[in-house]
Chain A
Amino acid sequence: MTMFRTRTRGGHDQGPAPEALRLVKVTRTYGTAENAVTALDGVTLSLARSTFTAVMGPSGSGKSTLLQCAAGLERPDSGIVWVDGAELTGGTEAELTRFRRGRVGFVFQQYNLLDTLTVAQNTVLPLKLAGRRVDRRRVTEILTAVGLGDRLGHRPAQLSGGQRQRVAIARALVTEPRVIFADEPTGALDTRSARQVLLLLQEAVRVHGRTVVMVTHDPVAASYADSVVFLADGRPVGRMDAPTPDAVAERLAHLGDDVTAGV
């Protein structure tokens, strides 16, 4: 295996890795020995740069755990994770945080914006925390691009759900990460706002060359992605390129048929 490996943190400018994300035999188990639940069962997966991938599967299939392990929010029990060619190492939360900065961005279903900060302040927060220079013009540019150029001084509480999610996307984009992880980003939105959010994620891939990994249970949301990875019982059980809502829904309905039910 010729893998571009580097253990130096913050060294992602040494040239882009061919794969934005690579997981090898990643396993994650919750609970104690007797009633352990295997959320991820030796998942091996690789995603090319500048792609938009949706991860789908029934509840409890391990979608969210996969995202959290891949994003460095959680440590897998075994297996290796590479983000943008750098292996995810380091045991403490501080080390993981430093690894994530500049490499990954997040968009969550519950937005996770800080109520005490304005739209503009929320957007620059990751830069401030990483000790990076804040370019006001660039921030305004990004917020204008997500359609919030006139809301810089508003608080999250004064925005609609769709607007909040667009702030979250701006915040994820501002550090120019290689990979953006989105966990049910449209789960709490109406269809019109959801569409705007999905188009923004698509644009991040097509125009800015980011890689987006999105967990969702909505076939319509998944159809905005380039490909869909299906997950069941903690294992990838299929992949679909150029997905349509109908094809995805059809495949989801028959996911159980493909796998032997785990005991």
Chain B
Amino acid sequence: MLVLALRSIRQRPGRFLATLLSAFLGAAIIMTFNSMHDTAAGDGVDAVSSETLGTAAGVVGGYGTLLVFFAVASTLTVNVRQRAAELELLRCSGATPAQIKRMVVGEAVAVALAGAALAVGPAMLGGRALLEMFQDSGQVARSVDYAFGPIALLSGVDITLVAAAGAAFLAVRRVTRGRGERAGAKRFLAYAALVAGAAGAGSTFLSSATDEALMAAPAYGAILLSVGLALLSPGLLRGVLGRLPQAGPSVWLAVRNLRERAAHLAGILVALILFTAVSTATLTMQAVESDAVKASGLVKSVDAKNLETLNLTVVGIIAVFVCLMLVNSLYAATTYRSREFGQQRLAGATPGQVLRVVAAEGVILTLTGVVLGTVAALAGVVPFTVVRTDAVLPDQFAGVWLAMVSVTAAVTLGTSLATARRVLRTPAVGAVALAA
């Protein structure tokens, strides 16, 4: 089966590009930040520098692990879903579910290994740049030398491999088992996340304006709320669809398509909601905090600076991964619909109308994701702002929000429309015959 796995990768490298890219980016980020552990372990590193380096490595390393897992899982789920026919063929030719599982997991591990190997070089450069950044801002002493050692290398490779294998296992199990989602457990998790998130955001009011960790409670509250909303998003999307005015054939078709595909679109909605919530909440709170410190005339402590760097880095990493997941999922989902587009065209839709259907779907998806994400973000931002500055909604919110929404809208609509345009180049009759 491993031979088959390797052969299947060699035959179709393009299909594994997204997985490779997420493994590469994930490994690069994990190694970059974990090399701070190696650096901190060097001779003659003072306590403050060591703590800064350790915090950075710990926080971002942890986030990185989660993100690699989600990104690889997302790309592999798409990959396995696309290959349903091939896997079915293997099963008909006598492959047991365990063999198929081994093949898919084997492929994922091979791709992850390649991604991790590719990531070593960039991670060394990135780590060096990161250390210089810390030194420039005075968070780490100039005398500290950069080191890329066993912690960085081992953690990068191990985490990437384990994440890839785990994600592949889950993805293929979902396919070989068929549909058996435990809706009850999912709903329980969603409500648990919502309650915990609301509690976290609400507990902000118990803190005072000068608390060091003031930002933690509302930030985690916003994240948990967005996770809860993300889990409930397919149902919420259906609710939105029922209330839309349906002017014109394109919106009419878009609403019906989305209603049927709501469960499949969950991954895209999750990415949209988490990105909007986490990035908007973190960046707004950071901006409020920085302005408040500036207004009070104090100089930021090293800890405060560390927090700022980490906040910005984490948001940056999340943004990159979410974009990767969105582009990959939307590209795959849209390519997969070639036959459906052909059928629409044969029923009398012009290519322009098909594109308008895709655009309408993208707009509805983006709006749903952004609104839910904004709700979660506000739940974190408002308590923080009230406690920190006595205002309710900070001035910085509008700008940050607009920037984040523009990014999501551009990525979602851009990918869907560009892919649909490409798909529409196949003549309708050919597109219908391809999958038949």
Beta-carbon contact of A94 and B351 below 8 Å: yes
Residues in chain B near residue A73, CB distance under 8 A? 346, 427-429
Known A93-B428, A94-B352, A112-B346; 16 more pairs at CB < 8 Å: A73-B346, A73-B427, A108-B432, A110-B433, A112-B342, A112-B432, A113-B343, A115-B260, A116-B340, A122-B347, A125-B344, A125-B347, A126-B347, A128-B253, A129-B348, A129-B353
Interface residues of A in 70-109 (CB under 8 A from B): 73-74, 93-94, 97-98, 100-101, 106, 108
Contact of A97 among B249, B340, B350 (CB under 8 A): B350
Asked if A227 is at the interface of the complex by the 8 Å CB criterion, the answer is: no
Between A and B, how many residue pairs show CB distances below 8 Å? 70
- A97-B349, A108-B346, A129-B347 known; A116+B260 contact, CB < 8 A: yes
Let me know if B345 and A93 touch, CB within 8 A.
yes
Instruction: Pull 8 A–B residue pairs with CB atoms less than 8 Å apart, ordered by A.
Output: A94-B350, A97-B348, A110-B432, A112-B342, A114-B344, A126-B348, A129-B249, A175-B348
Which residues of B from 242 to 268 have beta carbons under 8 Å from A? 249, 252-253, 256-257, 259-261
Q: Is the CB of A98 within 8 A of B350?
A: yes
On chain A, the residues within 8 Å of B343 by CB distance are 112-114
Q: Any chain A CB within 8 A of the CB of B206?
A: no
Q: Which residues of A line the B interface, CB within 8 A?
A: 68, 73-74, 93-94, 97-98, 100-101, 106, 108, 110, 112-117, 121-122, 125-126, 128-131, 171, 175
| Closest A residue, CB atoms, query B433 | A110
B345–A97 contact, CB under 8 A? yes
Which chain A residue shows the least CB distance to B345?
A97
Given contacts A114-B343, A116-B256, contact A101 B429 (CB under 8 A): no
B436 close to A (CB within 8 Å): yes
Within 342-386 of B, Cβ neighbours of A (below 8 Å) are at 342-353
Complex: A131 Cα to B352 Cα, angstroms:
14
B432: A residues at CB distance < 8 A: 108, 110, 112
Residue among A94, A122, A125, A130 with the highest chain B CB neighbour number at 10 A = A125
CA distance A171 to B349 in the complex (A): 14
A112 touches B347 (CB 8 A): yes
Among B261, B350, B353, B428, which residue has the most Cβ atoms of chain A within 10 A?
A: B350
